Chain A
Amino acid sequence: MSLIECRQLTKKYTRGDNEIIPLDELDLSIEAGAFLALMGPSGSGKTTLLNLIAGIDRPTAGELRVEGTDIARLSRSKLARWRSTHIGYIFQLYHLVPVLTAYENVELPLLIQPISRKERHARVAQALELAGIADRHDHYPRQLSGGQEQRVAIARSLVTDPPILLADEPTGDLDRASSKAILELLLRLNTELGKTLIIVTHDPTTTHYAKETLHLEKGRLVSEAPPALAAEVKSAGDGRGERDA
């Protein structure tokens, strides 16, 4: 079975007579180790899909299994505990806690884990190192650039060693150089640590890094890869092949 399985997955909002259907009977399987880019116009349901997979939103209908768990059936508290070890979530606007230092932000997910202080410290240090931001560990978010903040956020998503990383437009607020660095970091997490990665993006260069690109429109997958893009993705894939070697 696939790592993530969506069957007829539907999310519906009803406001009076108005019905909004961000996700419309979506079928999707994602294998472990995938690096998936999710594209689509604004309002097409990309964030909704990530939120459902992360269990921070609940489907209206359909089936959703992650690592074999039917997460829609978990209680809110069980879901939170499950999420802490299965999902790392990376936001467009980083969402760091402003009164905490980089180190403390990364430490946050570990505060509620039953591990020793020493182990906690080791894991935070390792995550900061992996994200390439260890030298700024005692800085507050306001003292960091956007790219640095996103590195801290990535370290936070990694620190519990979850198998799945979800990133919602992680480079949407960054300049070209920072975007490139963040994408390369995410790619390494996929190739070297084997994290399953789903990135929502508007930026076509992301598809150069991804192994696979899907397009959403009005809550439906339109086609796995439009012909025009497929060639582009292929050449990017070749480039990555060199790096992997």
Chain B
Amino acid sequence: MRDLFRLFPLVRKQIVRQPLRSGLTLSGVAVAMFLFCAVEAMRAGVEQATRVTADDTVLVVYRENRYCPFTSRLPQYYGDRIEALPGVLSAVPMKIEVSNCRASLDVVTFRGVPEAAFLEHFVPGFTFVEGSVDDWRNHGGAALVGEALAIRRGVHAGDQLDAAGITVKVAGIIRSTEPQDENVAYTHLSFLQEVSQRGGTGGEVTQFQVKVDDPQKLEAIAQSIDAEFARDSDPTSTRPEKAFVAAAAGDVLEIVRFASWLGWGALAAVFALVANAIVLAVRDRVREHAILETVGFVPRQIGTLIVMEGTILGLLGGIVGAIGALILTQQRFSIGMEGLSIEIASDPSVVLSGLLLSVALGLGAGLVPALRASRRPIATSFRAV
């Protein structure tokens, strides 16, 4: 421990006075860290949006064989019939308009909801960042905008939000426990039905959001809903909300998984490069280490110097990369498809594990050369050029 303090100034000089070498190593680590954070954030976002957990109680009822909000149309009165089924707590009809039905990084999703059901089932889960629910109620063309969407579009309460040929007034900005809420704008159902140019006026919705009383019965209730409408003109397809997202995002998930592998591959490549840089640096300094031992440094102290240098470069690189990743995720990117979104959010645990990883990377890369340096006989080191 005492050694660490004694030797630190020496390590600092090695790092600071060879800015090119240190800079290259450091940026290598930073890039790796950035990749790691980006890939992990994407993976975490997908995980959160698509993995059905044991306490999920939300089902989505969609038109059978339809995959885009443009084409899924269900009569609004289905809501009453769904609510009548055993185990169903509520069925909120929802009209959805999106700026883009394909997978894209900048999709704006409008969800039209009936006021009473919205106030009862959605608003309690919101935190208002700006504005209030009253502003929303008092204005027909108002919208409550998810924080991620608001940041991405740079809108504030009182501004107008334009997308998909629809203009709304931002009445409030909300933060929600439901990841999907972060990327949508909630409007009045009747408003969205009116302004929507495509077909369906009054009485038509895109989907129903159904809450059930017991998560255990989620699947069973989904089946009973589809059975209820099987012989109607508009049969339904009902799935847990997250399974619905997973199905809608199928292609995107494949891409994300692939990107994950690319990210990890790049990470491995960077690790090899950084390790190589440290190995070369140590080889460059074989004689320097022999000098240190000649003037009395014990092998353990020399090994400590090498490992410390790698670790510090790893830590600094990690911090730079983490700052980069944080800046990126401040933009609140989300992959949207078919009116759903997967947010690329870096939560602190991703950044923390990335930092640990970079430190481990620097430490690991220094360890082997350190061991080798401290085993090498000094007399040989002086003879080697």
Contact = CB atoms under 8 A, between A and B. Distances in A.
Interface in A60-91: 76-77, 80-81, 83-85, 89, 91
Interface in A169-227: none
Interface stretch (B164-172, B190-198, B297-305): B297-305
For chain B, what secondary structure do more than half of its interface residues adopt (helix, strand, loop), or is it mixed?
Answer: helix
A100 B13 contact: yes
A228 interface: no
Contacts of B293: 56, 80
A150 to B, nearest CB: 14
Interface stretch (B91-99, B143-151, B284-292, B326-334): B284-292
Nearest to A157: B295
Interface in A150-175: 156, 160
Contacts of B17: 99
B157 interface: no
Contacts of A83: 294-296
B18 A99 contact: yes
A83 B295 CA distance: 7
Contacts of B378: 56-57
B168 to A, nearest CB: 62
A122 interface: no
A66 to B, nearest CB: 15
B297 A112 contact: yes
A111 interface: yes
B241 to A, nearest CB: 60
Interface in B167-219: none
B127 interface: no
Q: Which of B18, B288, B297 neighbours the largest number of chain A CB atoms within 10 Å of its CB?
A: B297
B379 A108 contact: no
Interface in B258-302: 287-288, 290-301
Interface string B294-330: 1111111100000000000000000000000000000
A5 interface: no
B377 interface: yes
A104 B12 CA distance: 13
Contact of A89 (B14, B294, B297, B377): B294
Nearest to B291: A95
A95 B14 contact: no
A80 B298 contact: yes
Given A99-B13, A100-B13, A108-B292, A51 B379 contact: yes
Nearest to A82: B296
B296 A160 contact: yes
A95 B18 CA distance: 18
Interface of A: 51, 54, 56-57, 76-77, 80-81, 83-85, 89, 91, 95, 97, 99-100, 104, 108-109, 111-113, 156, 160
28 contacts: A51-B379, A56-B290, A56-B378, A56-B379, A57-B378, A80-B293, A80-B296, A80-B298, A80-B299, A81-B298, A83-B294, A83-B295, A84-B296, A95-B287, A95-B291, A95-B382, A99-B18, A104-B13, A108-B295, A109-B295, A111-B6, A111-B7, A111-B9, A112-B3, A112-B6, A112-B301, A113-B296, A160-B295
